[in-house]
Structure 1
Amino acid sequence: MKIAFSQLIMVFGLALWVISGCGEKAENITGEKQVIAASEPCEQCLTPGSRASFLQASISDGRFVADESSLTTEQITQSLRQTIIGSDLPLAEVQLFNESRVPEMPRVRNAAEWQAKADQIRRDVLDNVVYRGNAAVWRDTKLKVEWFETIDGLPGYRIKKLRFECLPGWWIPALLYEPLKLKGKVPVVMNVNGHARSGKSTPQKQERCINLAKRGMIVLNPEWIGMGQFANRMGHYQMNQLDLCGAAGIAPFYLNMSKGLDVLLAHPNADSNRVAVAGLSGGGWQTIFISSLDTRVKLANPVAGYSSFKTRARHGKDLGDSEQTPNDLALYADYAHLTAMMADRSILLTNNAYDGCCFAAGHALPPLIDAAAPIFSLLGRRDQLRSHINHKPGTHNFDEDNREQFYRMIGHVFYPGQKYDWREIPSKKEIKTYEELVVPLPEDNHNFNSLALGLMKNLPKPFKGDSRARLLKMVKACDYKLNAKKTGEDSKEVLHYQFEMGKDWTVPGTVFTPKEVKGITLLIADQGRKSQAVEVKALLDAGQRVVAIDPFFFGESKIKSRDFLHVLLLHAVGERALGIQSGQIAAIAKWAKKEFGQSVQLNSIGPRLSVAARIAAVQTDAINSLSLRDPMTSLKSVIRENKGANHMPEMMCFGLLEYFDLAQIESLIAPRKVELD
């Protein structure tokens, strides 16, 4: 074996340096350095991957090996798959985050104070939630109704087919159940349906309409968006496409109901002082939403339709669709408030004892009663707040027992002191098929996607002012105080961290350090850090220290159950997932720059996190360059591909596309480099 003299001197010198730090055996009593014989290596020298073992190996075979990371792709994979925060923590954190932001009931001293508060809540919700932004143009559109065939030959009533516009170009099919003998003013009832695919033809809904018509009431049975004749054409989660464009996606839902009331009250025999709304499940949600906000409704019977946002945060089955958690609703009201807002009118709260779907009586009902009862009492109307718990069958239903409780409440409110039979009138033989109740609709009838496609054509629109400030305000970008906690076993090459974001979130991260550090790369990926071993290996080989993290909603930070529904609730309590993600990324970038003394390159892999990555780069100049692989190139792709909140909940940031597409966001990062691959 031949080794050049200069090489031998270098190796021998390095060996002395390594061995001198091996431990007490490497020094004599005077502190002078001694070379330990090769036959007596210390324990640290024999450690795999140590500098001493590296030198010994290079001398033994006559080669000198470069000083580079010894981590294999397999070892990197193992490190990336290391559990840092676990699957329970992201769920627990989002539950606490959402729950803590739900408003409490206001304290009022008298009926006048409450009425003023209720009026203010009603104005705020209608102005700032329901008709927010571009949806305001739909608020006062004139009622348009078209009538079709009448189904005659029925015992004591007829069914008239009609359709009405909830907003220009969006027609709602409906059925009007009209008593054959009408004299004077009579009560009117709007029966709204829930998530039954059969829509307005659902048997229990038909039976309710028939029973009320046989009692002399005029009844409207409107179709619900996404159900019945609308099934498979307009999913509820697509409503958030309108939010992205700056028009409240909740507006069509509300107009579907308010225009339905317009139809009923336009009837010459309608008694405007006796107006009721009732429905099951999603119909129960419709009932409380329209009844609390539209004072034309005098009696409401929501059946297994809602619970407080506080309850929903802890009971996953109660987490509602997009319409139940509209952007920023909880800045003004919880569903407890909406229930109490019926105190000047009447409400029957119906829940089922063993409901396996949602809003079971045991957890959903008590908080609503606790919130509303004091207000009803304050107004001297405690008897107008009633509740019923169904035990037979006790499942998710609006069957005979629950219907009879509704009929009884109608008698109490609309027919006081009069002879009135609240028992169910058998009518099963009169149930019509789906096909028999179909109402013609135009081929080009609007839906959420068609409205959003129209709105986005001229977006984003120009504006004056500070673009950076507006962007960060729109996404509600968070400026977190970060605490980095090491977790697991330490090594020179791999460290695991829990990055605590104030008191709200914990972000898992793994830091890989090569032997010779040339720069820092912060790595995020839609598929999570555990799938990025090849990428990490390539970066290490290029001399990059890699900080691989999983921001909110991705990778190990994924919410383990009903994930996107928690994000919808997060938006309802006034926060934005994009702002949380960008804030986390920015905070860790600032930490990395301070900790390691170098600016940070941010690498994002996948379309979804590429949006938060851009915003984070706007948020902090600790990120000196941005590399986006397989990025989203336009927010308009969310609408073109007809994505819903169930696909990309974090993208449904109210009004973002109204003023910013991704090109505009990238311009705010300049002159720093942005690479798209």
Structure 2
Amino acid sequence: MRVLSCFVALLIVVPLVATAQQSELPSADELKKALAEPIITDTTTQQEVEAFCEARVLKFPAEGAPELKTPEAWQKYIAGVRENVLQNVVYRGAAAEWRDYNGKIEWQDSIEGGEGYTIKKVRFEAVPGMWIPAVVYEPTKRSGKLPVFLNVNGHDSAGKAARYKQIRCINMAKRGMLVMNLEWMGMGQLRTPGFSHAKINQLDLCGTGGVATHFLAMKRGLDILLSQAAADPTRVGVAGLSGGGWQTIFFTALDSRVTLSNPVAGYSSFFTRIHYYSDLGDSEQTPVDLAANGDYAHLTAMLAPRVALLTFNEKDNCCFAAPHALPPLLAATRPVYQLLGKPTNLHDHINYDPGNHNFERDNREALYKVIGQHWYEGDSSFSATEIECAAEVKKGDELKVELPAENLDLQQLALQLAKSLPRGQATIEQVAQALRLPTEHRIAAKTSGEGSVGEIKLVRYQLRLGDTWTVPAVEFLATGTPADSKGTVILLADEGRAAIAEQVRQSLADGWNVLAVDPFYFGEAKVKNKNWLFAILMASVGERPLGVQAAQVQQVAQWLKAQRNAKQVRVATVGPRTSLIALAAAATDAKSIDSLRLQGSLGSLKEVIENGGTVDKTPEQFCFGLLETADIAQLTTLVAPRHVQFVEPSDRVKQELAGLAAVYQKLGQAFDPLAQ
């Protein structure tokens, strides 16, 4: 049972009056200058978020660990890791149902290929209502069962029409392989805003593994290849560059049907990425909870004892350069191949010419060589030299596959899921679980400067939360001591504390002390480099940016009451993002936060999806499963009977929260959170 806090005085918006007379108050410009003074260094949060993430990535067993002492021990260990990734990362929420969905497959017309092969067009449902276009290269001369190969593409706007990819497919078909060239979301035919990879986080918000859409697209593609009568299930390959390299390692590690894997310049260990910012992957490469359940070193070692060719480029001008990306992967994986008695099944190749981000001839021929070594052993006619086929490369329009007019994209899938959410009124415990709310409550305040603005005393603090975060804050004292005031207002703003001078002035005039705070990711506490990529990495290591931010607000409130003797603690916000943080904090802490004043709040988290929001802009709004657990109205209900005032509420706020006055009335208070 939730323990309801005692009655807190009604929040009302009043003009500048009362304890601190308007004439005695510093101007907004003076306050803005005081607010903007630095408290922490510009690298403080960067260093803290790196340490935070590094400490939480699942470590690969050290050589000599029990998991690496016998083949049986290893197989048991890695099977558990694989199952954890599938269950805790991929097949979550609706994706568990998509896993067994028997999607439609529709073959279309064939087009002329070149000597020795034809090209057939096909479309298939990766998940219900979402169709993926692909083309299949079929050898015209067949002898026995044919190897099958799934060629995936990366972040290339040409998609399946990319020249280097077509050449690879053609060469494989001319060598007698059955090959699928499938489109990737956000590329080629699927290059639309709704298929942007950052949109998979909209599915995450709904409690469904967004990365499952990528995984299932590959799985369905391979299903089609293996369903062909001529397919040889013992010779199954996947290869791709960059984002295709990520697809290759992620899919082939988790789908044991694949017997030969060639990821090209597509990934590195999470431990590597933390220190080489170029490697920090976007939403699909850093899915929620992956790093807590398995590092990319684990995924690479999962390939053993199957054939693997790890290809990297020496001077990669994009990401995953060979000198830093490849050695840690080989160091983790070689002992496993040796343990399983197949050391010659692990290959690596470094491209020096051109050495940039590529899957050009040298890298392709390295793949053909490995294919010949393992699939065509003893066949003297097989050559790893690329077959010239430039004249056979098709234009994009020639490879275009007709798609349904109502083909669902990632955003439309999320909108479908959101319709039935949240499931009901959540409990404090359920919201805390969705937030992965930290339980650390130790806080140490270090004064970094004192002074005054006119007649108002100010103190600057570095608030050290446990051994993890430093929160910069500025305290303004409206009266002689904190005990003489009405209480303290914690002020937060989407634009950072330097943007809330007017709100500071209003609160001082009303007789409140003010603590202007920049929680993680805001104002002075921004991550300096690759900010949103570190935010999604936090979610991948099992934490939640919103949970970290809410906990910081809670701990600051607790400090104000315990150390600064604040009578009341009110949290006031400016902007939809900090308003969500304040609601999450108050909903899960009934003791420290006495009231809320929210300016610019969303009426519903569904607005994030409806407006096409992406995780790179507002990462905390995509907290996994939060919408499934509680929307804005449910969070506000958990705060009651403490007062929540929505300032200048939007029409959506009024619509979604219209019933809250009845909630307060039921609790014995005649209070309407929407009253101005």
TM over 0.5: yes
Q: List per-residue Cα deviations over 1:294-353 (Å, max 9, x = no partner).
A: 000000000000001111111111111111111111222100000001112011110111
Deviations 1:514-564 (A, max 9, x none): 235332111000000011112112222222111000011111111122211
Among 34, 42, 56, which residue is 1:101 paired with? 56
Q: Which has the larger radius of gyration?
A: 1
| Equivalent AA in structure 1 for residue 172 of structure 2 | L
Letter of the structure 2 residue corresponding to residue 414 of structure 1: W
Query: Partner letter of residue 615 of structure 1?
Result: A
Give the CA deviation at 1:612.
Answer: 1.1
1:317 aligns with 2:267: no
Q: How far apart in 2 are the matches of 1:183 and 1:594?
A: 80
AA in 1 matched with 2:43: D
Contact 1:493–1:513 (CA<8 Å) still a contact in 2? yes
C-alpha separation between the residues in 2 aligned to 1:399 and 1:641?
A: 40
Q: 1:445 aligns with which of 397, 407, 410?
A: 407
Q: Provide TM-score, normalisation by structure 2.
A: 0.88
Q: Does 1:562 align with 2:522?
A: no
Task: Give 2:665's aligned residue.
Answer: none
Deviation at 1:126, TM superposition (A): 1.2
Aligned ranges 1:429-508 → 2 under 5 Å: 429-462=391-424, 467-479=427-439, 480-490=441-451, 493-508=457-472
User: Where does residue 183 of structure 2 map in the other structure?
Assistant: 223
Counterpart pick for 2:542 among 538, 560, 574: 574
- Say whether the 8 Å CA contact 2:156–2:187 is kept in structure 1: yes
Residue pair 1:68, 1:514 contacting (<8 A) in 2 also: no
1:72 Cα deviation after fit: 3.1
User: 1:71 aligned to 2:35?
Assistant: no
Letter in 2 for 1:74: D
Give, in whole Å, the separation in 1 of the partners of 2:29 and 2:92.
52
Q: Spell out, residue by residue over 1:154-208, the C-alpha distance to the aligned partner (whole angstroms, 9 max, x if none).
A: 2111111111111121111001011111121011110000000110000000000
Name the amino acid aligned to 2:576: P
* Equivalence for 1:644: 614
What CA deviation, in whole Å up to 9, does each residue of 1:70-102 have, x standing for no partner?
A: 533232112111111122111111111111111
Which one is further off, 68-77 or 167-176?
Answer: 68-77
Task: Give the aligned residue type for 2:278.
Answer: K
Q: Which position in structure 1 is the counterpart of 2:125?
A: 165
Identity fraction in percent = 47
User: What SS is found at the alignment partner of 1:668?
Assistant: helix
- The verdict on how the C-alpha distance between 1:177 and 1:543 changes in structure 2, with shifts beyond 3 A counting, is same
What CA deviation, in whole Å up to 9, does each residue of 1:372-424 have, x standing for no partner?
A: 11111111111111111111111000000000001001111211232220011
Residue 615 (str. 1) matches residue 576 (str. 2): no
SS of 1:508's partner is strand
Residue 642 of structure 2 is aligned to residue 672 of structure 1:
yes
Following superposition, the deviation at residue 214 of structure 1 comes to: 0.7
The amino acid that maps onto 1:487 is S
Q: Among 149, 152, 159, which residue is 1:192 paired with?
A: 152
The gaps in structure 2 that reach 5 residues or longer are 1-19, 648-676
Aligned twin of 1:382: 343
Aligned partners of 1:174 and 1:220 also within 8 Å: yes
User: Does the CA contact (< 8 Å) of 1:193 and 1:283 recur in 2?
Assistant: yes
> Given that residues 25 and 509 in structure 2 are in contact (C-alpha distance below 8 angstroms), is that contact kept between their aligned partners in structure 1?
no
Q: Aligned equivalents of 1:113 and 1:307: distance in 2?
A: 25
2:179 counterpart of 1:210:
no
Q: Map of 1:247-266 to 2, 5 A cutoff?
A: 247-266=208-227
Residues 653/440 of structure 1: CA separation in 2 closer, same or farther (3 Å cut) = same
- Counterpart amino acid of 1:296? R
The residue number in structure 1 matching 2:388 is 426
Q: 1:113 maps to which residue?
A: 73
Q: Give the match for residue 356 of structure 2.
A: 395
- Indicate if the aligned counterparts of 2:241 and 2:359 stay in contact, CA closer than 8 A: yes
Amino acid at match of 1:664: Q
Displacement of 1:68: 7.6
Which of these residues, 229, 233, 243, is aligned with residue 268 of structure 1?
229
Residue type at the aligned position of 2:110:
T
How many residue pairs are counted as aligned between the two chains?
611
Kept in 2, the 8 Å contact 1:68–1:541? The answer is no
Helix, strand or coil for the counterpart of 1:141? Answer: coil
Q: Is the 8 A contact 1:317 1:358 kept in 2?
A: yes
Give, in angstroms, the shift of residue 490 of structure 1.
Answer: 4.6
Q: Is the 8 A contact 1:135 1:248 kept in 2?
A: yes
The offset of 1:153, in angstroms, is 5.5
> Counterpart of 2:251 in structure 1: which amino acid?
I
**CA apart distance, 1:135:** 1.2
Q: Which residue of 1 aligns with 2:663?
A: none
Does structure 2 conserve the Cα–Cα contact (< 8 Å) formed by 1:143 and 1:262? no
Whichever residue aligns with residue 103 of structure 1, its letter is L
**Among candidates 578, 591, 599, match of residue 568 of structure 2:** 599
What residue identity is the alignment partner of 1:347? A
Question: In the alignment, is the contact (CA less than 8 A) between 1:478 and 1:582 conserved in 2?
Answer: no
Q: Distance in 1 between matches of 2:208 and 2:273?
A: 26
Distance 1:66 1:331, change over 3 A: closer
Query: Could you tell me how far 1:66 is from its partner in structure 2?
Result: 7.0
Change (3 A) 1:541 1:422: same
Are the equivalent residues in 2 in contact too, given 1:67–1:515 (CA < 8 A)? no
Secondary structure of 2:639's match? coil
Q: How far 1:290 moved relative to its partner? A: 0.8
SS at match of 2:561: helix
Find 1:512's aligned residue among 454, 476, 491. 476
Greater RCO structure (CA 8 Å; 6+ sep): 2
Cα displacement string for residues 473-523 of structure 1 (whole angstroms, at most 9, x for unaligned residues): 110112331111111345571111111111111111000112353321110
Is 1:632 aligned to 2:602, yes or no?
yes
**Amino acid of the structure 2 residue aligned with 1:83:** P
Structure 2 match to 1:62: none
What is the CA deviation profile of residues 591-638 of structure 1, one whole-angstrom value per residue up to 9, with x for unaligned ones?
A: 112233222111011001111101111233221110000111111111
**How far apart, in 1, do the equivalents of 2:387 and 2:50 lie?**
45
The 3-state SS of whatever aligns with 2:479 is: coil
Amino acid at match of 1:114: W
Rounded to whole Å, the distance in 1 between the matches of 2:126 and 2:535 is 28
Q: Contact conserved, 2:25 with 2:505, CA < 8 A, in 1?
A: no
Q: 1:426 to 1:590 in 2, by over 3 A?
A: same
Two-structure CA RMSD over aligned residues (Å):
1.5
- Other-structure match for 1:417: 378
The answer as to whether partners of 2:489 and 2:515 remain within 8 angstroms in 1 is: yes
- Residue of structure 1 equivalent to 2:553: 585
Secondary structure of the residue that 2:594 maps to in structure 1? strand
CA–CA separation in structure 2 for the residues paired with 1:509 and 1:125? 39
Equivalent residue for 1:139, pick from 99, 102, 110: 99
Match of 1:547 in 2: 515
Q: AA paired with 1:76? A: L
Alpha-carbon separation, structure 1, partners of 2:337 and 2:577 = 47
Q: Please identify, of 92-101 and 333-342, the stretch whose mean Cα deviation from structure 2 is larger.
A: 92-101
Mean Cα displacement is larger for which, 595-604 or 490-499? Answer: 490-499
Distance in 2 between the 1:102 and 1:216 partners?
Answer: 42
